[in-house]
A and B are shown apart, each in its own frame.
Chain A
């Protein structure tokens, strides 16, 4: 049946190039190959997000008067609405966790080195986009926590020098977080970000397919030094693809279990005139940044503390984008312990500050 369809299309479009590519493509087998699956798992969760997101769109209403009620309607009245909403929320969090894991694995394996600079570039932009999805999606249920957390989050954007006020107004669609902000975040979440993400995911995948899997620097160096022979290859189709699908199924099982046993709370409806409730904090993936900004004194060497923090994080983001171009040693196939140490420090910082930020009052 499948063969029949393929032959029918082949007769009309000549798929011999693709068939040849699929038949010949191999994935190197080595001790670090387990990290290869993280990208696929992240992409699978992105697919889950698109699917559940479209279903939620059928009932969600993006206005301050109706957003909360519509989500409440989804989780209480719509058949399996609770499941779709819970899967969407849990999958979003797992997606970001996996995206970070993918990011660090690529960083530690130095897979960004020449010739894969563009793969890194699209990947890091996708990571930022995922954070953007998380930030914009968090406000959409229009509950108390998300409302005030968005106020704090967009307030930090206001600390950016020169363009801060413009950015704050651009994000909030005014001076304060209102129904207009909700409409804007909705547009961002369901149209602008998905469009850019789809294009970037396509480019990212294309680059990965064109260049094949990167072999870790240490193995490549051992091969060059002659202490290690050529790596065995696993066939991309069906061996690797099936393993990928297996990993996706495991992720699906985890998301389903979390959604059924730890349902995502809806909380109380946002009241812009209410007093800020205690314990307002952003989603876990912004906690480290949030807590760092809180720790910086209000004035440092004549500069505003928050401004300094935001500028510092901006510089870190730019440095991350430029890593393949800065780590010249890795691109030359040499060891680059400085970047390994920097990545390790970054990982420790994120983990420690996220934990402290979670428990800090």
Chain B
């Protein structure tokens, strides 16, 4: 018996700890005059919070009521007593007061463990380090606080697709302020230039946006994946490669070994841009036309230009070879020649091209050349097999033509013989 009690003690203790929360979660909405009164208000500013809170709201669903954030007396029958400052009424908390209100629970590890044990409790601390937090501390009251992104009422879990901070909605949520020139007026970049408001327009052109919205890849980056969410800040000089490298690890590693790592202030962004990251192509490489290298490298004796041109030429050559061989074995395959080994080899050649394009981020032609040579060798062997397949095909078709001719001759001869026999029998 004593053993049973000893084993059950931790469980009993945990239940005792959770009891008040659970009791409140189940009984709290019983006496909430706030909702009753606010729901009937003609002024939408007063009625909307009641309507939103009565719908899907993560806090209401866990037993929290209006007074938990706004204070006051939810049991009171009239406004004066309900909004009595002596009963803790503080109205709609704004600025630092809002951060403090949310942090009261969300920074309390003990409390949060009861509702969402895996959730972090450092949002307020992170927020203080963000540009938003710093501007707020500096007295700018119009910067984003918790409710600006999560909403004040009708708050949904981040994983809820209707939440304004669900991955596919983040960009639009940030853009409510950052794409609004009036809102952003007065804010500047570190150099003093006005803060641009084109980020959303740029981002919607990017491969990241396409992957997220068209490819349904929720791991594709949106604003908070590069800037951070609660600690939102533009990645500083020297940090960009690390930020991009969280996903593009191999490219970042190659780049770190390159000479450009010491020259580029904005690392990856120098060539690929920041918000409007377009699908990369071989046309970006080289010293001619719209190639990005041409921005800095030009002239016949520029080593960088020569290296870029050399690598561009190798990529173009291998890609053309893969295409040509692919078309050849495609034709042969359609005609019934088995080419699965060659198809596999061509995939290997395409992998070599991808590897070479990756290696290019070290900006050293000597490291790219051996990979391209391997790819070219594969393409040559596929080409040879394709040519022999085409020869086999010609052999089959000419063989068929000859045998069809022989059959036709036989049919004609047979027909003539028949006619002869029939004529003879008529006579």
Interface residues in chain A, defined as those with a beta carbon under 8 Å from any beta carbon in chain B = 72, 75-76, 82-83, 86, 235, 238-239, 242-243, 245-246, 249-250, 252-253, 256-257, 260-261, 263-264, 266
Q: Please name all residues of chain B whose beta carbon is closer than 8 Å to the beta carbon of A246 when the two chains form the complex.
A: 411, 414-415, 418
A84 to chain B minimum Cβ distance, whole angstroms, is: 13
Known: A253-B408, A263-B335. A235 touches B400 (CB 8 A): no
CA distance A100 to B338 in the complex (A): 33
CB pair B411–A257 under 8 Å, yes or no, is no
B280 within 8 A of A: no
Known: A238-B421, A260-B400. A72 touches B414 (CB 8 A): no
Cβ 8 A contact of B407, one of A75, A235, A238, A249:
A249
What residue in chain B is nearest A83 (Cβ atoms)? Answer: B396
What residue in chain A is nearest B403 (Cβ atoms)? Answer: A256
CB pair B400–A256 under 8 Å, yes or no, is yes
Q: Please name all residues of chain A whose beta carbon is closer than 8 Å to the beta carbon of B397 when the two chains form the complex.
A: 260-261
B24 within 8 A of A: no
CA distance A242 to B410 in the complex (A): 11
Q: Please name all residues of chain B whose beta carbon is closer than 8 Å to the beta carbon of A263 when the two chains form the complex.
A: 335-336
CA distance A75 to B338 in the complex (A): 7
Closest A-B pairs by Cβ, 5 of them: A263-B336, A76-B338, A260-B400, A253-B407, A246-B414
List B393-426 residues whose CB lies under 8 Å from chain A. 396-397, 399-400, 403-404, 407-408, 410-411, 414-415, 417-418, 421-422, 425
CB pair B407–A243 under 8 Å, yes or no, is no
What residue in chain B is nearest A243 (Cβ atoms)? Answer: B418
CA distance A360 to B335 in the complex (A): 27
Q: Known pairs A235-B425, A249-B407, A260-B396; list 8 more (Cβ under 8 Å).
A: A72-B338, A82-B396, A239-B422, A239-B425, A242-B418, A246-B411, A256-B400, A256-B407
CA distance A239 to B424 in the complex (A): 11
Q: List 20 A-B contacts (CB under 8 A).
A: A72-B338, A76-B338, A82-B336, A235-B425, A238-B421, A239-B418, A239-B422, A239-B425, A242-B417, A242-B421, A246-B411, A250-B411, A252-B407, A253-B408, A256-B403, A256-B404, A256-B407, A257-B404, A260-B396, A261-B397
Interface residues in chain B, defined as those with a beta carbon under 8 Å from any beta carbon in chain A = 335-338, 396-397, 399-400, 403-404, 407-408, 410-411, 414-415, 417-418, 421-422, 425
CA distance A257 to B397 in the complex (A): 9
Total contacts A-B at CB 8 Å: 51
CA distance A246 to B420 in the complex (A): 15
Q: Please name all residues of chain A whose beta carbon is closer than 8 Å to the beta carbon of B396 when the two chains form the complex.
A: 82-83, 260
Q: Please name all residues of chain A whose beta carbon is closer than 8 Å to the beta carbon of B410 when the two chains form the complex.
A: 249
CB pair A242–B403 under 8 Å, yes or no, is no
CB pair B400–A257 under 8 Å, yes or no, is yes
CA distance A242 to B400 in the complex (A): 24
A36 to chain B minimum Cβ distance, whole angstroms, is: 15
What residue in chain A is nearest B410 (Cβ atoms)? Answer: A249
What residue in chain B is nearest A268 (Cβ atoms)? Answer: B340
CB pair A245–B414 under 8 Å, yes or no, is yes
Q: Please name all residues of chain A whose beta carbon is closer than 8 Å to the beta carbon of B417 when the two chains form the complex.
A: 242
CA distance A83 to B338 in the complex (A): 13
B416 to chain A minimum Cβ distance, whole angstroms, is: 11
Q: Please name all residues of chain B whose beta carbon is closer than 8 Å to the beta carbon of A266 when the two chains form the complex.
A: 338
Q: Please name all residues of chain A whose beta carbon is closer than 8 Å to the beta carbon of B421 when the two chains form the complex.
A: 238-239, 242
CA distance A82 to B337 in the complex (A): 8
CA distance A349 to B53 in the complex (A): 63
What residue in chain A is nearest B425 (Cβ atoms)? Answer: A235
CA distance A249 to B405 in the complex (A): 12
CA distance A76 to B336 in the complex (A): 10
Q: Please name all residues of chain B whose beta carbon is closer than 8 Å to the beta carbon of A86 when the two chains form the complex.
A: 336
CA distance A246 to B412 in the complex (A): 9
Q: Please name all residues of chain A whose beta carbon is closer than 8 Å to the beta carbon of B403 when the two chains form the complex.
A: 256
B335, B338, B422: most-surrounded residue (chain A CB, <10 A):
B338
CA distance A238 to B420 in the complex (A): 12
B187 to chain A minimum Cβ distance, whole angstroms, is: 53
CA distance A263 to B396 in the complex (A): 11
Cβ 8 A contact of A253, one of B404, B414, B415, B422:
B404
Q: Please name all residues of chain A whose beta carbon is closer than 8 Å to the beta carbon of B407 when the two chains form the complex.
A: 249, 252-253, 256
Q: Please name all residues of chain B whose beta carbon is closer than 8 Å to the beta carbon of A260 when the two chains form the complex.
A: 396-397, 399-400
CA distance A260 to B403 in the complex (A): 11
Q: Please name all residues of chain A whose beta carbon is closer than 8 Å to the beta carbon of B411 when the two chains form the complex.
A: 246, 249-250, 253
CA distance A257 to B422 in the complex (A): 31
